[in-house]
Amino acid sequence: MNPLSRDQIASAARIVVKVGSSSISGESADQIGPLVEALAGAHARGTEVVLVSSGAIATGMPYLRLSDHPSDLATQQAAASVGQSLLISRYQASLDRYDIVAGQVLLTAGDLENATPRSNAQRAMDRLLGLRILPIVNENDTVATHEIRFGDNDRLAALVATLCGADLLLLLSDVDALYTKPPERPGAEPISFVAHGDLLPGMEFGSTSVNSVGTGGASTKVMAARLAAAGGTGVLVTATTLAAEALRGDRVGTWFEPRGTAGSPSLVN
């Protein structure tokens, strides 16, 4: 099968959508409803949808009376243990409106780096999708260690997209696109297209953000997008609030061309 082009997004057969903690927890918890609505729209078209969702630690933090993201691994694990089931429950409550059933999939880096657990994960994901279940994937924070952690769910999403043979990876965050420099700086311009192999010369990344509920940043999204694109998956980076538009194929966000497709004329809008 030929890799997906940007004009074919709405017809993608299998997609992986990644959403970050800051987009669906805390004051943004009400964004779960619109996000699920967007996913349900794609699901109704017959698309197989996988959601990679951060947020277990952030969801558990209030129950541990934590105001800031914990820095020590043990507390992160405790918060994730409390938060993961609550997070899945919130998603399922929203999915119930569309008669969609969620399936929880927790992975560690080791699961996708070793042949046997990788094969098991792939088989389980394929079966869930074949049954029209919507898998919700997260890192298994409760058992992960510093040595084997993905570091951020952007990379996890790219690995899952490759595992599943997804046509499209949609990376969602609080920003509508990638910019030539941090968007709050003067002169920052949105990037609409990144050709496969483009190293983005002159692009200035801010430091990877570590806010009160999660980690991430433009640099992690670029690295994840390149990883998925190298595996033949088209990648779109945009804001969580634009998920519906993105899945309809509207011209939003930044498109990373997958390996094996023709080039495009423009880098910056």
Is 221 annotated as a binding-site member? no
Q: Who contacts 129 (Cβ-Cβ below 8 Å, separation ≥6)?
A: 14, 48, 50, 135, 164
Is 54 annotated as a binding-site member? yes
End-to-end CA distance of the chain: 30
Is 173 annotated as a binding-site member? yes
The torsion angles phi and psi of 48, rounded to 5 degrees, stand at -85, 125
197: amino acid identity, one letter? G
Question: How far apart are the C-alpha atoms of 27 and 92, rounded to whole Å?
Answer: 19
- Of the candidates 145, 168, 140, the one whose C-alpha atom is nearest the C-alpha of residue 228 is 168
- Strands 215-216 and 209-210: what pairing? antiparallel
Q: Who contacts 174 (Cβ-Cβ below 8 Å, separation ≥6)?
A: 20, 22, 23, 239, 240
Is 174 annotated as a binding-site member? yes
Separation in Å, CA 121 to CA 109, 118, 178, 198: 12, 5, 31, 32
Is 67 annotated as a binding-site member? no
Task: Answer whether 190's CB lies under 8 Å from 254's CB.
Answer: yes
Show binding-site residues for substrate. 54, 141, 153
Residues within the annotated binding site for ATP?
Answer: 18, 173-174
Residues making up the annotated binding site are 18, 54, 141, 153, 173-174
